[in-house]
């Protein structure tokens, strides 16, 4: 079920969003929803540069190894 959300925007931001929505042939509501979902999708994932840094960080990987072993062996629990 859809929910209604009230959002207060400055005139400049409203016009920017309205203009971009029109370019995409979307309603303003759909444009904002899609933009926020795209932002959240990108924010949830680690990019390739970060993943490489993690992979190359020996001390970090050594500190994570005991936890991985515990998880693989079924010890502990996720709170």
Q: Is residue 23 a part of any domain in this protein?
A: yes
The reported pLDDT for the residue numbered 44 is: 80
Q: Is residue 2 in a domain?
A: no
Which is higher by pLDDT, 42 or 4? 4
> How do residues 10-54 score in pLDDT, each as one tens digit?
999 999 999 999 999 999 999 999 999 999 988 887 788 888 999
Question: Of the candidates 31, 41, 42, 40, which has an alpha carbon nearest to the alpha carbon of residue 9?
Answer: 31
Q: Is the residue at 6 inside a domain?
A: no
Query: Quick one: CA dihedral 73, 76, 77, 79, positive or negative?
Result: negative
5 assigned to some structural domain: no
Q: Would you state the pLDDT for residue 1?
A: 87
Full residue range of the structural domain in which residue 39 is found: 11-72
In a domain, 48, yes or no: yes
Q: How many domains does the chain have?
A: 1
């Amino acid at each position: 079920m859809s929910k209604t959300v009230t959002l207060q925007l400055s005139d400049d931001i409203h016009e920017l969003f309205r203009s971009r929505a029109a370019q995409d042939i979307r309603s303003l509501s759909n444009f904002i929803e899609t933009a926020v979902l795209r932002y959240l999708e990108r924010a949830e994932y680690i990019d390739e540069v970060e993943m490489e840094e993690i992979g190359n960080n020996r001390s970090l990987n050594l500190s994570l190894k005991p936890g991985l072993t515990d998880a693989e062996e079924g010890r502990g629990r996720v709170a």
